Each structure stands twice: as structure tokens, then as C-alpha cells.
Amino acid sequence: MVTPTETETMPQPHKFDLTAKNCEFLDRHLTFPLLEFLCIKAIYNKQEMLEFILDTVNKTNMIDYIMDTRKRLNLGDEMPEELNQRKTKVLQTLKELQSEVAPIMKATEILKNSEMMKDSKTFLNVLQKDYNFKSENVESAYKLAKYLYECGNYQDSTSYLYFCLLVMSPNDKNYLNVLWGKLAAEILILNWSSALEDLSRLREFIDNSNFTPMQALQQRTWLIHWGVLVFFNHPKGRDLIIEMFLNKPLYLNAIQTMCPHILRYLATAVIINRQKRNALKDLIKVIQQESYNYRDPITEFLECLYVNFNFEQARMKLHECQTVILNDFFIVSCLDEFVENARLMIFETFCRIHQCITISMFADKLNMKPHDAECWIVNLIRNARLNAKIDSKLGHVVMGTPPLSPYQQLVEKIDSLSVRSEHLAGLVDRKNKQKNQESIDSWKYY
Ligand SMILES: *[C@@H]1O[C@H](CO)[C@@H](O)[C@H](O)[C@H]1NC(C)=O
């Protein structure tokens, strides 16, 4: 029988893969989705990945997962006796813990639909008065919740953790653990609205606690990593991640001090969030400050485009970004949106510097076929995101706005783009009226 040892480490990291770094700040159970994701990507040796998963899952009570991983490693159909014994023992412990908590859970069940559940003080009073509820019961519920979690039964675990939150004092020695456990369990059952609530609760707790600065920094670093999982799944997450990571100095400081690699996720969020373009200025400042500690194709893409105005390099970086995103569990679902918005950024910036561009030149810059590029630009203009006109005959795009010097462009573009484009829209309107009289036939308007 092969027993993986404690010394087994994650396979040698791939150039842009952040999984090993991210896993340092995640709960063991939260790492499984990331590891399984890597397992189906071709960037690591599959055998080594599976061995690492087996090593990790062995430290939990998820016996079925252990057995399944052994099978995938072809370690034989016959399960070692030790594993069967472990399974029996786990089930026995679960039973014991459940029987300890059963009377109190029955009471909770009875009270569930009454108004009392809404107010935890009243709820606790009734439990104490009518159901002989004692502080040991809270401890038992906590132990059961933790054990269920260890066994991979996250759904049931959240119920007991919810109960704990309801009856526990924030001074309870386990309170912080309950907050973390609940957040992890909600993430693992993909309940993003509950996870977001737990994330806010935890943040409030950490920000108002008496931690030493070092402890607080550590806690925030964890919260940032867990937050990424929530933010890229909850519909409001792409605003909230910018709000928390970029606009809250305590969290930005934690990122810069402890985990500058998180800039990848912040940059991705800003790129795909068209409504938050004014975050670009601050983001680029941070990316430049940290560029000696951390850079990847995504942060470099922004530098190429907004610091160096190097479109050719931006285009090449965008190409690399796609590989990075495709292999990053946190942001893989944003790939198409990312590419669409990154192209839009190149186009907007390009157009602000050049007054008239040919579609074929632009298609080349964006790695698109000329016809696709034209359709794409037409859509942009049609959706009123861009003040430009297309001359199909000549294959030209002509911008409504006057060209700017790169320096002007940087200042103007980054400083409150939304206000600026409103102003420009008016300006362009007037200019267009003059121009139209000269050559109204050759233009298509959208
Ligand atoms: C998430 O959890 C909340 C609270 O437990 C529950 O009301 C809701 O139905 C859950 N949502 C999903 C999608 O499971």
C-alpha cells in the first residue's frame, strides 16, 4: 500500500499558476475545487496532482473521497482495512455527536416557524427556560458542525453553524471559527448570497476586533482570498471586490504587504466592470507600485495600454491573458467577458490617439478577421458606447472625438471618464452637424 507522506508537496508551480499561493490562504476543503480543476488542466503531471489530492484528502474525514482518489490513482480496487475501519469510526463519532445535540435540535425545530427565531435573545431565553438549554449545548452543536464539515457534509454543517451564530455570544472562544466555518461551508455548497452575508459579517468582526496588527493582517489576507471566490460568483461581486480591495486602505494594504498576486483578480474585476472604469487610475497606480513584486500578463496588459500606450504589446499580452485565465479557477468563467472588454479598452485607447484608422489595421491589432472586426465595431457604435462612424467603402473608422496626445490621453481618460464622455458627446454632436453638410452621403450613422 502506498501511503503518501506529509512531506509531499504540490507539484512544481507553473509560471503563472497561483494555485499554490492561493491555497496557502484557503481552508483545506476550499482547496479541493482548485486542485481538481488543475487536475483536468494539462499544465501539471496528472499523477502528481492526484497524489497531492490524496495526500490532502487523507487529512480530512471524507473517506469516500479518499477511496475515489485511490481508485483514480489505480491503487487497486481492494480498500485497505485501515480505511474501512476509519469509515466505521467516523460514522460512529457522527452518531454520538448527533445524539448529544438531538434534544436541542428538536426544540429548535419546534421554534423554527415562530417569531422567536428572528430575535436571538428571545430565542435563547425560551431555549433556556423551556428546554433546559445549557452552554454545553452550544459547544456540542459547534463540535457537530465542525465534524460534519470535516466529513464533507457542508449542507448540514451550515444548519448547525447557523444555530451557533444565533445562540453564541461574540465573546465565545469558538465564535470566530463559526464565522469562518460558515463562510467556507456556504462557498462549498455554492450558496453565494449566504456566503456574501458571511463575508460581510466576518469583515465587520475582524475590523472591530482587538487583534494585534499582525493578527488582523493575517485574518484580512485570508478574507481577501476567500472573498475572491465569492466575488467572482455573486452577481454583485464585481462591484464589491473593487470596493473592498481597492477602496478600503486596510485591505489594499494587506494585498500590497501579504499577497500582491491578488492584483490579478482585482485587475480582472476592473477590466470586466465597464461601470467602474474610474477605478482604473488607482488600480494602475498600485500595479506600478507593486510591479517589482508582482506582475503577470493581466497586470502587464494594463501597463502596456495605459502607461506605455504600446498597442502591439498590449495585443500580445491579451493573448497571454487568455491562457492565464483559462488555467485560473478563480476567473476562468470570465474569459469571454475579459477578452471582449480588453479589446474594447484597446480600441477606445487607440481611437483616442488616432483620428482615422483602417479596419484592417485595427483587426490586425486585435487579432481578428477584418469582417469580424467591422461587425464588432459596428456593434460598439450601435450600443452607443463609442462616438465613431464607419466608412464601409474605404474601410475606415473615423472617430468623432479629436485625437489627443498620449499625455493628454492619460490624464483625460483616467480622470472620470464618464463625465468626460458626456461632455464630448455634446461637442461631437455640434461638430458632426458641421461636417454632415459636406459629405452626408458617404457616411453610415449608427
Ligand atoms: C442559501 O441559504 C439561505 C439561508 O440558509 C437559503 O434561504 C437559500 O434558499 C439558500 N440558497 C440556495 C440557492 O441554496
Segment 345-360, tens digit of pLDDT: 888 888 777 767 788 8
Residue 31: half-sphere exposure toward Cβ, Cα within 13 Å? 22
Q: What share of the chain is helix, strand, coil (3-state, %, to 5)?
A: 70, 5, 25
Where does the pLDDT of residue 420 fall: very low under 50, low under 70, confident under 90, or very high at 90 and above? very low
Measured in Å, residue 45 CA sits from the centre of ligand 1 at 38
pLDDT above 90 covers what percent of the chain? Answer: 56
Measured in Å, residue 132 CA sits from the centre of ligand 1 at 30
Measured in Å, residue 193 CA sits from the centre of ligand 1 at 7
Q: What is the per-residue pLDDT across 319-331, written as a single tens digit (0 to 9) for each?
A: 999 999 999 999 9
Report the range out of 103-112, 124-133, 272-281, 349-358 with the highest average pLDDT.
272-281
Measured in Å, residue 90 CA sits from the centre of ligand 1 at 28
| 1: its cell numbers | 500500500
Average pLDDT in the 275-304 region? 95
Please return the burial class of 46, using the count of CB atoms within 10 Å of its CB with bins 0-12, 13-18 and 19+: middle
For the residues of 345-395, what is the DSSP string, one character each?
HHHHHHHHH-SEEEHHHHHHHHT--HHHHHHHHHHHHHTTS--EEEETTTT
Measured in Å, residue 185 CA sits from the centre of ligand 1 at 12
Strand partners, 425: none
- Using alpha carbons, list the distances in angstroms from residue 180 to 42, 115, 188: 33, 27, 12
Measured in Å, residue 192 CA sits from the centre of ligand 1 at 8
Q: Whose CA is nearest to atom 13 of ligand 1?
A: 191
More confident position, 248 or 340: 248
Q: Whose CA is nearest to atom 5 of ligand 1?
A: 194
Least confidently predicted of 85-89, 260-264, 418-422: 418-422
Least confidently predicted of 69-78, 222-231, 424-433: 424-433
Q: Whose CA is nearest to atom 3 of ligand 1?
A: 194
Q: Measuring from each residue's beta carbon to the nearest atom of ligand 1, which residues come in under 6 Å? A: 191, 193-194
Predicted local distance difference test score (pLDDT) of residue 385: 62
Please return the burial class of 312, using the count of CB atoms within 10 Å of its CB with bins 0-12, 13-18 and 19+: exposed
Q: The pTM is what?
A: 0.82
- Ligand 1 site-directed mutation target among 154, 159, 191, 196, most atoms within 8 Å of CB: 191
More confident position, 239 or 42: 239
Average pLDDT in the 194-213 region? 96
The answer on pLDDT for 1 being more than 50 is no
Instruction: Tell me the helices (H) and strands (E) count for the chain, helix number first.
Output: 22, 3
Domain coordinates in residue numbering, the chain: 19-79, 192-353
* Phi and psi, residue 49, nearest 5°: -60, -45
Average pLDDT in the 195-201 region? 97
Q: Whose CA is nearest to atom 1 of ligand 1?
A: 191
Q: Whose CA is nearest to atom 4 of ligand 1?
A: 194
